[in-house]
Amino acid sequence: MFFVYILQSVLNGRFYIGYSESPERRLAEHNAGKVKSTKPYRPWKKVYLESYGSEIEAMRREKALKAMKSRIYIQTLIDKTRPD
């Protein structure tokens, strides 16, 4: 199983979209400064997660989300998954 995840910087609210077999491990790597693109914006928290049966499906979804470049759309996705 593969996952598409969205992280949010606690520092400035910036979003990061990625995919992984282990989103918890990836979150730990982001927060440990092991990912160059996210290191300056630590700490990160996981705010959204989708699961897929194959890596290619997860990659396609990640690419589609990144192509949108819409903070509003990302926030809408996150808000839909939060309990009222």
Domains and CATH numbers, the chain: 2-81 (3.40.1440.10)
pLDDT digits (tens, 9 = 90+) for 5-56: 999 999 999 999 999 999 999 999 999 999 999 999 999 999 999 999 999 9
Residue with tokens 């995840």: 5
| Strands of 29-68, DSSP E | 44-52
Distance CA 56, CA 53 (A): 9
pTM of structure: 0.92
- Give pLDDT, residue 69: 83
